Amino acid sequence: MKLPLKKSRKERQQSTSVLLPSFIANQLLHKSLFDRNNICLKRSFQSATVFQSDLIGFTALSSTVHPSFVVSLLHHFYAKYDHFAAHFNVQKIETIGDAYICVSFGGPTEPVIDFALSVVNVHKQLKDYRIQNILQPGNVSDPINISIRVGIARGNVLGCILGRSCLRFHIFGSALDHAIQLEGKCLPNSILGIHLYMYIIYTCSSLSFFITL
């Protein structure tokens, strides 16, 4: 009788960890139904590294092509991003339209930087890209050019689950705010990061240069 129960718990852990960081998924699974409905699951991090990206030209493109092409484009990109996130052990938080947010909750910044370099490299290789419509096989778009800009910042974040249904883990705090600000100032297909008192601009080949504040 115990084996099916263990298998059921393991399956629940695996399915929940797809949507939530493992430490939150485990905390959620071990709480009673009453606790789940009455406690806001949260965790503070003092040295998180946050990645925020945005696709340049996405808004204009989405207004000129069929929604199925928009879905196909984002799925193409996000599937690659998710693969890189798993490889470099960074936690995907959420996507908001064409914005992708992920984080390393502690430790060195290098995994997030390596992740970001891999993401930017994908876009550097896409010139006159034709979207393969995943909802209408065989249908492709006219050539497009979509660049990306990336902001990376390190600092405090508060992570929590909001609401009672469709549970997702959200982050708030200075690191996310700075990452969003840096992404907005970034050049196409580049990464703008802040570390200590310096802006750092990365390219796919190496660290380009510093701008001291």
Q: In CATH, what class is 40-212?
A: alpha beta
Q: H or E element: which one contains 131?
A: none
Confidence grade of residue 167 (pLDDT, cut at 50, 70, 90): confident
pLDDT at 15: 45
Token couple for 67: 């929604």
Residue-wise pLDDT for 50-81, tens only, equals 999 999 999 999 999 999 999 999 999 999 99
Using the predicted structure, report yes or no on whether residue 6 has a pLDDT greater than 80: no
Check residues 177 and 200 and name the one with the higher pLDDT: 177
DSSP annotation of 186 reads: P
Residue-wise pLDDT for 114-128, tens only, equals 999 999 999 988 888
Kindly report, as residue ranges, where domains of CATH 3.30.70.1230 are found in the chain.
Answer: 40-212
Integer Cα distance of 108 and 100 in angstroms: 21
pLDDT at 37: 56
Average the pLDDT over each of 4-18, 24-38, 102-116 and give the range with the smallest value: 4-18
96 neighbors 43 (Cβ within 8 angstroms): no
Residue 163 neighbours by CB under 8 Å, 6+ apart = none
pLDDT at 112: 94
| Phi, psi of 167, rounded to the nearest 5 degrees | -65, 130
Residue-wise pLDDT for 83-121, tens only, equals 999 999 999 999 999 999 999 998 888 999 999 999 999
The region, left, alpha or beta by phi > 0 then psi within -120 to 50, assigned to residue 128 is left
pLDDT at 160: 87
Find the Cα–Cα–Cα–Cα dihedral 148, 149, 153, 159, rounded to 10°. Answer: -50
Highest mean pLDDT among 19-23, 125-129, 160-164: 125-129
